[in-house]
Structure 1
Amino acid sequence: MSRTSKFRKDKIKIRIEFPDYTGDKGETASDNTYILPDVGEEATINYNGKEVTINVNMLNDIRKLGFGNYGSVMLAEVQNQPEIKMAVKEIILGGMCSCCCFFLVSPIFILFRYNPRYYFAIETSYGTTADLKEMIDEMHKNSIRVILDGVYNHCDCSSPLTQIDHDYWYHHNPKDSIMSWGPEWNYNFYDSKYNIWPARKFIGDSIRYMVEEFHIDGIRFDAARQIQNFDFLDWVVKEAKKAAGVKPFYCVAEFLPDEPCITNIDGPMDGCWHDSFYWTIRDLLLYDNIDIGRLKSVIDCRQQGYLGVTNVVNYIGNHDHDRMLVELGKERSIFGEEAFKRIRLGVVLEMTSIGIPMIWMGEEMGEYKEKTPDVAKIDWSLIADREDNSNNINKNLLGLYRGLVRLRKENKAFFQTNLDFIHEDHDAKVLVYQRWSNSGERVVVIVNLSGHFLAHYRVPNMPVNGWWHEWTFNYDCKVDYNEVHLDLAEREAKILVWLGEDWQPPAPQPEPPTEPASNNDTNMTEGNPEENQQ
């Protein structure tokens, strides 16, 4: 596609694949071309010279969870991977930019190895440079921001710089032989003769090129812990933000295990993968390991030393692990309603904790496929309309996700780090916490972590009296004497949203008066008195 051509609804030319995300209508135009689900108008894409039918509302379908998205795109060419396929990996529901949604896309490598070869070359499945630029422009028009999935710890063994002068650019030996995936950039080496840091300058130039030429909106730093150089990370993030200008530019690190030193005020990154959150929720949902103290520390990441809403990215699954539904089946033989009940509990905890929630594609609809380096298409029939409503459990899960996304977007209680734990019951395994804003919005989350039904459970220490809306089951309840009584099903969370000091339930509508029967009706009913006497 030429740079000057425009996107039209009847013809969109774009050379890019989302094989896991896309649906499958039973046929493909080629082995590497996939057809999006038929959920709206269709258009034609030119994929490597072949005309392929797709849905023109692809970006809107991607935004099914409710609002703007961010996307992460790997731009570096990959050695010996001409057939490389693209997959949506995660969706991040952000706290910055009015709680917008980040959309993460990056390529699948064999065994998930990230081995870029050329840091200034566009991966061929994106088409030409002009094609990719126009695609990103179109994403921006659809409120989708693009995050570069940057691999700056290592590269492919056949990268040209490894052949020119390996030890000038890279460490001679791996820093960690166990966690090594290729030649590792040496950001410690300074060339006094030419007054440059060779590796830093090369990667910095690459990032600056991507920011200025393609207008990306952030970077996800793969294997950031293995880089082992905060000085470089601090410098390169500042360079990237300088190149981005005044627009928001979000830098997040895959820093495992997570530590606040990578972010906060003194750290180089805006945020990091909150891996301790994942393992805590996993132990709770999968093994019934109810450690309230540990759970509190990941719900309120300040207890771990993090400072802000954007400092951590929370998730209950990502591309490095099987989905929680899969693990429940494999590890515990838990399926059906019981499995979904546990997932719903995890979703509420994820969406109401301090931090940015991230969703691995398919989680929101109950996708069940195991993790694989091969293509594993999402089963879109899970949320399709069925006459027998046999997939209501999946559609209800999607509805929960969408509702929580909307709640996070609209309620200012989630915009700040204000969080208090107002009730702990270690015997009944109940935890209650409050999120609130300085402007008065309040949300209380009541979590039954146990496998027992708790009837008419007393929740004390409610922050204010008056009327609250129980969000999960959509009814109003009144708090008196700073307590409320609720029925809590096993492994269930309820969300109470404060309705305000002046809110009152609507007055009941009076029943319409009963009209008296007419004389004719009376005669027809009672008959003629004279006839009755006979």
Structure 2
Amino acid sequence: MYPVDLLNRRNESFVLWVPGSSSAANAPKLIIGNVMESSGSKTFSQIARLPLVPSPDKSGLWLLGPESVSPPLADGVYHYWFEVDDTSPESRGTLLVSDPFAFAVDYGVANTAEPSVPPQPASVVRLRDGKLWPCDVDGADPPLPAVPSLAALPSNNHLVIYELPTSWAKIGNDNRGVDVDVGTFADVLALFKADAPGDHFSAVAAVHEEAILANLGVNALELLPAADSKTQDEWGYATAHYFAPDYNLGTASDLVRLVDAVHSQNTRFFTDVVMAFGHDSYGSIDFPDFHIRPTLETSNPDSYQSHASGVLRDGYGGDSWRYLRTVQSYDPESGAGTAGVHPSWAFHRSHLARWMADFGVDGLRLDSVNNIGNWDFVRSYKERAWELYNARYGGSLGPAGTDPSKFLVIGEELSMPISMVQQGVLDALWNEPWQGRLRAALLGEVANDVDFTSTVRKLVDCRLDGELDGGTRFADGAQAINYITSHDIEGFRKERLYNFLSSNGVWDVERRAKLAFALLLTSVGIPMIFAGEEFADQMDRSVDMTKKQTDPVNYSRKNDGGWRQALFDYVANLVRFRTACPALGENETDFFHVDASRGGKIMAWRRGQASGTTSTHVVVVANFSDEQTPGSQYVVPNWPGRDLPGWREVSQRRDVPADWVGREPLVPWEAKIYTRWREVGA
């Protein structure tokens, strides 16, 4: 049972919600049939074409029980579409469309009756004992994920998120180019389990023979949109079927296996959600209630982005969702017969319930929140996500005393509307300026700050950045997602770190990359690693900075036997430190040394609170210059707890003799990380 009335009704009937239509004279129709597969191709054989029936007391709800189909349906797997009159601005006549609430779709069976209209895949369902049940495309019954131990999952302030796209690369057959393909859920599983063979990338040793992400130690996996996208070999932001896992990535069963494996390693599962625009079938079923063309309705406030005065929303080839519209209709969430309903709100909150219940989501990343254009909806979606999280562990849809540090709703918007976090619309936000400051610091440059020292200070403590959103600041590290690189590689200094350093004449990429990760993994904020950066992956396609898709992940590079493998080991060591060390989950930061004699390019700071002889704080000393410190020692004055025993340097995994505490030299572009803290059992 779901906390969504419409999803529960789908067990009894084929269901279509059309808020703008309840007249039997214009009834949508069910097209249902069997599929035969031969020689790798599928053939659809129609059984029936029948009109749906309007619910007498539920305005806008259309139903047809499987018992009404003639000839009678036997138990088995069926493919179906709904036939509707196109309501989009193009008005292309009668169309066959996918069920917008379908749990599985099959692109191997796509309607091509209208050559001028992009075909929509068939929806898939199983009939058993007179009931309709979700199933995979191959007919398998997806299991439900096990509910993990909440106590075992990492808290927000000790997360290290791994952002993983669908597009991967491997060395081509000619050993010169590369083959680019989709990394499936089974391939991702192989990154966590050494005994999982993988799928499309099973021939890549780093995928097939080891567990890269288990070895790296990240404790949160963020998949770029896992819901079905109409595009193939792309990033997945053209969401078309919000309730179904992406057809190219695998089945619901595959995804549940992945989630269970991730949870068994005390790792949280995040997914991206795209709600600014869609490529969904409501664009034809009931366009006026669900979608808007901003260029056609310039007097409508719904056409404009939030936090960006006068900027129209962008559908990026799809249709912008309409969020200000309210209709008197059946409410798919509560089941009320006639109520004031926001159609788009109800639709998106409904697929949220599906993903939270059936795929064990532990966190969400909402794409392009300004382009959604409605903070009230975003707040409603976030609050519903928290209700569902509480219900998973507390047994109710209200606050149930569950741990508030084990769930997170993150927004992405490069204009940085931090006020969305401070007003409770979101829990956290991508910290876009962090990337710019880091890349400037790696070259010894100032990034739109007063001086170099300010650039580094705001890198290390994001709460110091008061230049954005009218002076609004992050109040806590768990509100900011810091990253060296992300999938958004368009624009100045956004490319992969390797390419950025190479294009700026840096010859020792390994050393500069280690400095980047030392900063990422010791700074205030939640660190996020874009897949492949842990071994300095590089562009495999031509560097076109107007597109995201130029940069697939090439795991073949990880085991090069040289500096890339050394970088991976360095990052893995710091990831384990970040996820465990108490001080790095705190906000407190004290910059106690800036070497003015070297232009402020050598700095030292303390992370976390110091507490006398039981001190667990972390000290970072960094050299942002081409010059090695002179002599055999570099004395850092005011070193906190210099006379206390037990200091060690984390990045090199070595103890520091008492006489050398706060006195060790630095090579160019190096950070040393010190602590007296030791993990229990270490």
> Does TM, normalized by the shorter one, top 0.5?
yes
Give the stretch that moved more between structures: 404-413 or 483-492: 483-492
- Partner residue of 1:531? none
Q: Letter of the aligned partner of 1:271 in structure 2?
A: A
CA contact (8 A) 1:3 1:134 kept: no
Residue among 585, 605, 609 paired with 1:433: 605
- Partner residue of 2:71? none
Residue among 225, 235, 240 paired with 1:108: 235
CA distance in 2, matches of 1:29, 1:444: 44
C-alpha distance 472-238 of structure 1, shift in aligned 2 (>3 A): same
Whether 1:319 aligns to 2:487 is yes
Q: Letter of the aligned partner of 2:498 in structure 1?
A: L
C-alpha distance 269-40 of structure 1, shift in aligned 2 (>3 A): closer
> How does 1:244-259 map onto structure 2 within 5 Å?
244-245=389-390, 246=393, 248-259=406-417
CA distance in 2, matches of 1:312, 1:141: 27
CA contact (8 A) 2:222 2:272 kept: no
| Cα deviation code 1:387-428 (max 9, x no counterpart) | xxxx1x222211210111122133211121111111122441
CA distance in 2, matches of 1:206, 1:427: 58
Q: Letter of the aligned partner of 2:221 in structure 1?
A: Y
CA distance in 2, matches of 1:126, 1:426: 53
- Partner residue of 1:496? 674
CA contact (8 A) 2:458 2:464 kept: yes
CA distance in 2, matches of 1:117, 1:199: 14
> How does 1:131-210 map onto structure 2 within 5 Å?
131-156=254-279, 159-173=280-294, 174-175=303-304, 176-177=311-312, 179-181=314-316, 182-191=318-327, 194-210=339-355
CA contact (8 A) 2:217 2:572 kept: yes
C-alpha distance 46-484 of structure 1, shift in aligned 2 (>3 A): closer
How many residues matched? 447
CA distance in 2, matches of 1:41, 1:415: 30
> How does 1:111-510 map onto structure 2 within 5 Å?
114-156=237-279, 159-173=280-294, 174-175=303-304, 176-177=311-312, 179-181=314-316, 182-191=318-327, 194-245=339-390, 246=393, 248-264=406-422, 266-286=423-443, 288-289=445-446, 291-304=452-465, 305-321=473-489, 322-330=495-503, 332-335=504-507, 337=508, 339-369=509-539, 373=549, 376-385=552-561, 391=562, 393-428=563-598, 429-437=601-609, 440-455=615-630, 456-466=633-643, 467=645, 468-473=647-652, 474-478=654-658, 484-498=662-676
Q: CA deviation at 1:77?
A: 2.6
CA distance in 1, matches of 2:267, 2:191: 22
Using structure 2 for the length normalisation, give the TM-score. Answer: 0.59
Q: Letter of the aligned partner of 2:281 in structure 1?
A: P
| Cα deviation code 1:1-32 (max 9, x no counterpart) | 7348899xxxxxxxx99552778899999976
Q: Letter of the aligned partner of 1:161 in structure 2?
A: Y
CA distance in 2, matches of 1:499, 1:215: 34
C-alpha distance 6-254 of structure 1, shift in aligned 2 (>3 A): closer
Q: CA deviation at 1:192?
A: 5.7
- Partner residue of 1:92? none
C-alpha distance 31-334 of structure 1, shift in aligned 2 (>3 A): closer
C-alpha distance 308-24 of structure 1, shift in aligned 2 (>3 A): farther
C-alpha distance 401-314 of structure 1, shift in aligned 2 (>3 A): same
Secondary structure, counterpart of 2:565 in structure 1: helix
CA distance in 2, matches of 1:150, 1:39: 23
Give the stretch that moved more between structures: 26-35 or 219-228: 26-35
CA distance in 1, matches of 2:529, 2:418: 22
Q: CA deviation at 1:311?
A: 0.8
C-alpha distance 461-375 of structure 1, shift in aligned 2 (>3 A): closer
Q: Which has the higher helix share?
A: 1
C-alpha distance 41-234 of structure 1, shift in aligned 2 (>3 A): closer
C-alpha distance 324-443 of structure 1, shift in aligned 2 (>3 A): same
Unpaired segments of 5 or more residues in structure 1? 8-15, 86-106, 386-390, 501-534
Give the stretch that moved more between structures: 367-376 or 408-417: 367-376
CA distance in 1, matches of 2:666, 2:194: 44
CA distance in 2, matches of 1:380, 1:465: 44
C-alpha distance 472-64 of structure 1, shift in aligned 2 (>3 A): closer
Q: CA deviation at 1:198?
A: 1.7
- Partner residue of 1:74? 225
C-alpha distance 492-45 of structure 1, shift in aligned 2 (>3 A): closer
CA distance in 1, matches of 2:227, 2:385: 17
| Cα deviation code 1:31-80 (max 9, x no counterpart) | 76899799997666788xxx97788978933322125332325243323x
Secondary structure, counterpart of 1:403 in structure 2: helix
* Aligned-residue identity in percent: 22
Secondary structure, counterpart of 2:502 in structure 1: helix
Q: CA deviation at 1:361?
A: 1.4
- Taking only aligned residues, the RMSD between alpha carbons, in angstroms, comes to 3.7
Q: Letter of the aligned partner of 1:261 in structure 2?
A: S
C-alpha distance 180-203 of structure 1, shift in aligned 2 (>3 A): same
Q: CA deviation at 1:170?
A: 2.5
Q: CA deviation at 1:383?
A: 2.2
CA distance in 1, matches of 2:345, 2:522: 39
CA contact (8 A) 1:170 1:186 kept: yes
| Cα deviation code 1:255-287 (max 9, x no counterpart) | 2132432224x3322211111110011112246
C-alpha distance 431-33 of structure 1, shift in aligned 2 (>3 A): closer
Q: Letter of the aligned partner of 2:438 in structure 1?
A: I
| Cα deviation code 1:445-490 (max 9, x no counterpart) | 111112211123221111223232233342414379xx83231222
